Amino acid sequence: MPNYTRYTDFLKDKQFIRWQLAPDEELEAHWEGFIKQNPELKIALQQAIDYLKTTGLNKSTLNEDERIRLLNEIQSTVERSLKRIKSRRLIQLSVASCAAITLLIIGLNHFVFQEKGTLFSPEQELIVGSLLNDKDIQLITEEDSLLFQNDVQVEFDESGKAKITQGNNGGKTAELTGSKQNTLIVPYGKRSTLTLSDGSKVWLNSGSALEFPAQFTGNNREVRLASGEMYIEVAPDGKKPFHVRTSDFDVKVYGTKFNISAYADSPRSVVLVEGKVSLKPINKKETFLSPSEQAVYSDNGTFNTQKVDVNQFISWKNGYLEFDKTPMTEVLKQIGRYYNLSFDFDNDVNLQKRTCTGKIYLSENLDNVMTTIGLLSSTKYIKDNNQIFIINEPN
């Protein structure tokens, strides 16, 4: 049994990580027995559990001292384990995938590299991905079109004046015409946030286009999601209802937080986090949503609703993706949008059966992300310049 003296020792234990991320009866019995035999470690164990749930899996950064300390402690353990692996296969999901998720999320810069030049046999199933060229974020106004290479934050005040901040660079100011519509286009591989003149805050995911006025006039507040995905926290205003228009339905807001996905290659949906919304397709009956419900739009103009874990649908705005038995093709679709990748799924009969469960930290380093996906789905990947090859690994 490992020598546990403090909570970080548990964070290095693959069995502990697996217990927290993919518990089963055997693991529950093991750790219940452990607590009974080691009551003096109960507090340290709980600290590790709390850390993993509130910090390790949900924060994209740690303070420098904490990051270095945990990195050194965990990395030494992983390196010792990797030396004992004689085959060239990646570590199997049953033990190491959950550990890898946590290592990557807390910033561990340690990978299992594949050798370049590997030849693929004709019968081998693989998915080929290509890195696409970056495009600029565009803010299109009545009079101008502004381009930005990096993710931007746009904040409007009540007068319609916009402050635009790009990365760590200083902000610049632009004045937009009152109630005229403006369009913020966020290409694949980029993201943006937008604070509207009423104080409502919008997160725009990759591949999105949002139309909005610099100022809300009249009796309504209205924006239009032309494509993509947005998460919005609507500022309450009893005198001016808030509406989000899409090509298929309208969302009427009653002071709330919710996510809308309107990608062309995926079902359109709304997930309500807090408050109340109603959904109304053209010439169809209004549908009301309660918190923790998802409504998926059907081609016949109706909605199918179900209870969901909202974190799986809004985690992207916090820098990670959360999956629960999600098909690998859907995982790669989301990764492709986020990093501006194009995946070819033509030869993926068995790969479609792969699923992923866990959290993937959306690191700036794509190798981190692809390694995690490989571990989660029992596949491996090879990166060669701008191409990524994902290969089926038999269980």
Supply angle C-alpha 139, 142, 147, rounded to 5.
25
Shared domain check, 95 and 152:
no
Shared domain check, 304 and 207:
yes
Shared domain check, 297 and 338:
no
Shared domain check, 328 and 287:
no
- Give the residue carrying structure tokens 């004992």: 84
Of 277, 308, 339, the residue at which a domain comes to its end is 308
294-303: Cβ within 8 A, 24+ apart? 294/269, 294/270, 295/269, 295/270, 295/271, 296/267, 296/268, 296/269, 297/248, 297/249, 297/267, 297/268, 297/269, 301/248, 303/279
Shared domain check, 324 and 303:
no
Q: pLDDT, tens digit, for every residue of 221-274?
A: 999 999 999 999 999 888 889 999 999 999 999 878 999 999 988 899 999 999
Q: In whole angstroms, what is the distance from residue 242 CA to residue 248 CA?
A: 17
First to last CA, the chain: 28
Q: pLDDT, tens digit, for every residue of 53-78?
A: 654 544 434 455 544 454 454 444 44
Is there a contact between 204 and 223 (Cβ–Cβ < 8 Å)?
A: no
Residue 290 tokens read as: 């309660």
- As for how many domains the chain has, the answer is 3
Q: pLDDT, tens digit, for every residue of 89-135?
A: 333 333 333 334 434 333 333 322 333 334 455 455 667 777 777 78
**Range with the poorest average pLDDT among 61-70, 217-226, 289-298, 347-356:** 61-70
Shared domain check, 328 and 290:
no
Shared domain check, 368 and 337:
yes
Q: In this structure, is the dihedral angle defined by the CA atoms of residues 216, 220, 221 and 226, taken in order, positive or negative?
A: negative
Q: Could you please report the per-residue DSSP string of 139-161?
A: EE-SS-EEEESS-EEEEE-TTSE
**Does residue 83 lie within any of the structural domains?**
yes
Residue 198 tokens read as: 């009423």
Neighbouring CB atoms inside 10 A of 24's CB total: 10
**Does residue 79 lie within any of the structural domains?**
yes
β-strand pairing of 192-195 with 201-204: antiparallel
CA-based radius of gyration for the chain: 23
| Averaged pLDDT score across all residues of the chain | 77
Residue 69's domain spans which residues?
7-105
In the chain, % helix, strand, coil (3-state, to 5) comes to 30, 35, 40
Give the largest CA-CA distance in the chain. 72
